[in-house]
């Protein structure tokens, strides 16, 4: 019986180069929506049953008793600004040292994001792969999984043997992508070569237009699935829509294909590329102003039981924003909104003060607006403490199922202002409001709300769409740019257009 020794490691960061906050080593150690930095066999135990690529790979590999997995490290930090050189080098060194310690290594699996930008490298994943290739040589199979928002460089495709990419946004198939990465590694380990091709497309797509539940992305990914399922010579075809908040040379959408022959890979790329290029205009989206959205939502919910969800897309912490801006909150107050909730505003000082004051108390505060976002400032207000919580709860939605949140102190606060009925969920850590469990943790029944404003771009749709009568996507001040025509890029390839 031949034993295959497979090294597995993960290093995830979606870098928003417009965000002021750096991803330090401490950020990778932090427990939040996902586990903090985890090493060796603890990886298998901690990530079990989570909707994560690493968990999907481990589960798929567990069926084969001839495979021995060698976990090294799995690290992820909440999206923000550049990964510090110190953090990148420490984690990359852990991965490389772990690989070097394994005797008779037969393959490597890496759970990466694809849009990591470090202080010492625009192409974080490409740099990591370069260091690994220096260790193991050119022929050892290396398979990686990437996020749908990856900005894929030619170096990444050249340095690894195969890539599997998420095919849904909201990302409901993260574990499935890890399982597909395992299938690709098995194909290579069996001595079956893969011919590959990649193509970078010449325009940027804002995250607000990338939802695969909506057109045109819904049809694009349906065609991609059909091609993957009907052509035996096509081993894998994937499409990353890119992460436009990363100002890098390789920012933008990219197609990657692997086939048993070069013609198959080339044809698959051409087919999807033609479809996407034809949909360029449809990938643009007009966003509401905060005032227009609050006015529309307040009017829609005034005399009936409708629920309107407002997506504060440019202050989405899941895309590297600070989750601290007050534009949507102010608009809801200005329009005297009733039974309206804003979640989650990252304000450690106000949250700590609420816990110190206690339930039922009222206090003056400078809420939010503390991160230097242009055209945003703190809201001077009186707040009533309605609920307090420790931030430890089980996520309930499909995307984060199996994950226990460890978010630290949180609070439900009512803004005391005559004629309005507006509540804010605050916390000491950033978290994207993509799961209804966040509201329920603060004893908020989403079914009784009229308006819920979420700091999210698209991920919220998986859990919130089934209960929402209407969804309004807003461009209010924040560090995650969604209206790309106004963004001042420095490093994009010449000729890159913006949807």
What is residue 249's predicted lDDT score, i.e. its pLDDT?
98
CA 312 – CA 442 distance, rounded (Å): 20
Joined together, the tokens standing for residue 152 give 């894929």
Structural contact between residues 359 and 374, judged by C-beta atoms closer than 8 angstroms? no
Q: Measured between alpha carbons, how far is residue 351 from residues 74, 266, 409, 410, 413 in Å?
A: 30, 54, 7, 6, 9
Chain CA centroid to CA 131, Å: 25
pLDDT score, position 36: 95
Cα within 13 Å of Cα(227), Cβ side: 26
Q: State both tokens at 352.
A: 């700590």
Cβ atoms of residues 412 and 386 within 8 Å: yes
pLDDT tens for each residue of the chain, 499 residues long: 466 999 999 999 999 999 999 999 999 999 988 999 999 999 999 999 999 999 999 999 999 999 999 999 999 999 999 999 999 999 999 999 999 999 999 999 999 999 999 999 999 999 999 999 999 999 999 999 999 999 999 999 999 999 999 999 999 999 999 999 999 999 999 888 899 999 999 999 999 999 999 999 999 999 999 999 999 999 999 999 999 999 999 999 999 999 999 999 999 999 999 999 999 999 998 999 999 999 999 999 887 889 999 999 999 999 999 999 999 999 999 999 999 999 999 999 999 999 999 999 999 999 999 888 989 999 999 999 999 999 999 999 999 988 999 999 999 999 999 999 999 999 999 999 999 999 999 999 999 999 999 999 999 999 999 999 999 999 999 999 999 999 999 999 999 999 8
Question: What 3 state SS string does 60-77 have?
Answer: HHHCCCCEEEEEEEEEEC
Q: How many residues does the chain have?
A: 499
Q: What is the pLDDT of residue 458?
A: 98
By the 8 A CB rule, do 248 and 122 touch?
yes
Q: In 180-329, where do the E strands start and end?
A: 195-200, 203-204, 234-240, 254-259, 308-312
State residue 325 phi and psi, 5-degree precision. -85, 160
**How much is the pLDDT for 2?**
65
Long-range contacts of 372-375 (CB under 8 A, 24+ apart): 372/20, 373/315, 373/322, 373/324, 373/325, 373/477, 373/478, 373/479, 374/477, 375/327, 375/477
Q: Which of 137, 129, 63, 67 is nearest to 96 (CA)?
A: 129
Tokens of residue 116, six digits = 């990591």
Find residue 121's DSSP bridge partners.
118
Measuring CA to CA, which residue among 255, 251, 289 is closest to residue 272?
A: 255
Burial bucket for residue 471 (CB in 10 Å: 0-12, 13-18, 19+):
middle
């Amino acid at each position: 019986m031949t034993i295959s020794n497979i090294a597995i490691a993960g290093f995830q960061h979606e870098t928003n180069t417009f965000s002021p906050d750096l991803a330090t080593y401490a950020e990778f150690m932090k427990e939040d929506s996902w586990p903090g930095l985890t090493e060796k066999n603890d990886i298998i135990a901690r990530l079990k049953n989570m909707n994560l690529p690493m968990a999907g790979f481990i589960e798929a590999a567990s069926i084969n008793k001839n495979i021995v997995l060698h976990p090294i490290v799995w690290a992820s930090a909440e999206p923000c600004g550049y990964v510090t050189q110190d953090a990148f080098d420490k984690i990359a060194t852990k991965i490389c040292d772990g690989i070097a310690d394994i005797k008779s290594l037969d393959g490597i699996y890496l759970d990466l994001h694809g849009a990591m930008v470090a202080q010492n490298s625009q192409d974080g994943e490409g740099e990591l792969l370069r260091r690994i290739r220096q260790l193991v040589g050119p022929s050892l199979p290396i398979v990686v999984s990437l996020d749908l928002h990856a900005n894929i460089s030619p170096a990444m495709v050249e340095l690894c043997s195969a890539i599997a990419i998420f095919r849904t946004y909201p990302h409901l198939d993260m574990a499935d992508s890890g399982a597909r990465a395992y299938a690709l590694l098995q194909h290579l380990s069996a001595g079956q070569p893969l011919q590959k091709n990649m193509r970078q497309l010449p325009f940027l797509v804002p995250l607000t237009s990338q939802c695969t539940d909506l057109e045109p992305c819904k049809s694009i990914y349906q065609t991609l699935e059909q091609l993957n399922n009907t052509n035996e010579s096509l081993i894998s075809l994937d499409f990353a829509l890119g992460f436009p908040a990363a100002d890098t040379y390789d920012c933008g959408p990219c197609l990657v294909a692997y086939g048993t022959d070069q013609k198959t890979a080339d044809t698959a790329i051409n087919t999807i590329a033609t479809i996407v290029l034809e949909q360029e205009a449809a990938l643009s989206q007009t966003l509401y102003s905060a005032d227009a959205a609050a006015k529309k939502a307040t009017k829609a919910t005034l005399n009936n039981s409708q629920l309107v969800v407002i997506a504060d897309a440019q202050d989405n912490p899941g895309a590297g924003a600070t989750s601290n801006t007050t534009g949507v909150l102010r608009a809801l107050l200005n329009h005297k909104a009733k039974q309206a909730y804003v979640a989650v505003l990252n304000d450690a000082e106000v949250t700590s003060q609420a816990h110190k004051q206690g339930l039922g108390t009222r206090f003056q505060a400078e809420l939010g607006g503390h991160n230097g976002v242009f055209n945003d400032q703190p809201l001077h207000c009186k707040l009533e403490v309605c609920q307090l919580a420790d931030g430890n709860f089980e996520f309930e939605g499909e995307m984060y199922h199996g994950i226990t949140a460890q978010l630290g102190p949180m609070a439900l606060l009512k803004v005391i202002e005559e004629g309005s009925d507006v509540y804010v969920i605050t916390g000491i850590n950033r978290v994207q409001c993509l799961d209804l469990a966040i509201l329920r943790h603060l004893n908020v029944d989403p079914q009784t709300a009229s308006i819920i404003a979420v700091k999210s771009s698209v991920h919220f749709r998986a859990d919130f769409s089934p209960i929402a009568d209407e969804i309004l996507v807003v461009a209010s001040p924040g560090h995650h740019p969604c209206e790309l025509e106004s963004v001042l890029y420095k490093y994009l390839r010449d000729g890159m257009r913006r949807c």
